[in-house]
Structure 1
């Protein structure tokens, strides 16, 4: 019986170790893949939809999940902006960095309710997305559909190849 108890203890220890390793691996992957998507939201003084005390109870950080895709001709940036309208965001490009800023407004249907879960962040934000290539800003296009902002940035120089003679 003592051996059986020892074996059970070893099995529990091994399974607990596996579970902790799995959780640890999940956190490492989340941080490595999504750390740039983690965006801080701050209170905006001109928000007339809510008081600053209401916003203080909401999370200050949220994920703005995105994709950066490079084709032969373009760089495509897609960012999920749930609960926002196209008028709520601005895009600028400085050097090889695309800056996305905006504000997510808090709207409440009634003021006599109690929140039991608060996982959505509200307020002003800015996210910087490094671009892998030089882009032609003059030919950039942006669209917003179903809560996803898509920015198409043609690469400078297109797909031209040039050989340089070594002298």
Structure 2
């Protein structure tokens, strides 16, 4: 009987070790791939008080704004997934080789006689900074927002082709 308990204990220990390793690996990947995408959302003081009075759970203050930066021969293309924001709530700023995205994701409660059981979506104002791999032509930059994805097209400055210079 004691031997079977010891074996069960070893088996449980191995399974817990595997589960912990999987969880740790998931967190490491999340942090390494999405560390820059983790974005703080600020709530106004009045909104936080109203949330507490209206039986809502506390709104999350952090969310992932997943994005990608792609470079072609002629441009840098930045795409960021941010569903639920109106076009007029965006502000896009270029400063040197940095792209700053800021905006506000507004919380709208459709019904007043409901109870939230899960609240994972963050609301409020936010800012995300994205370093660009090259200088861009700010005058020809374009942006659009469709299906919850913001796309910013940034033409590169000058000829970006690789070139070797010989000494004379």
The reply to whether TM is greater than 0.5 is yes
2:42 is the counterpart of 1:53: no
TM-fit CA distance, 1:51: 3.4
Other-structure match for 2:106: 105
Unaligned runs of 5+ in 1: none
Whole-Å Cα distance in 1 between the matches of residues 127 and 75 of structure 2?
23
Counterpart position of 2:15: 15
Residue 70 (structure 2) aligns with: 69
Unmatched runs of 5 consecutive residues or more in structure 2: 53-57
Structure 2 CA distance, aligned partners of 1:127 and 1:26? 24
Count of aligned residue pairs for this structure pair = 163
Cα shift readout 1:66-115 (whole Å, capped 9, x = no counterpart): 11111222111101111112211111111111000000111112333322
1:1-167 alignment, distance < 5 Å: 1-44=1-44, 51-55=47-51, 57-167=58-168
- Name the CA distance, whole Å, in 1 between partners of 2:17 and 2:140: 54
Q: Which moved more, 1:27-36 or 1:105-114?
A: 105-114
Query: Which of structure 1's runs of 4+ aligned residues deviate more than 6 A?
Result: none
* Higher mean C-alpha deviation, range 52-61 or range 13-22: 52-61
The answer for the alignment partner of 2:55 in structure 1 is: none
TM-score (norm 1): 0.88
1:8, CA displacement in angstroms? 2.3
Q: CA RMSD in A?
A: 1.9
Distance in 1 of aligned mates of 2:135 and 2:65:
24
**What is the TM-score normalised by the length of structure 2?**
0.87
8 Å contact from structure 1 (residues 88, 103) kept in 2:
yes
Q: Are the equivalent residues in 2 in contact too, given 1:103–1:125 (CA < 8 A)?
A: yes
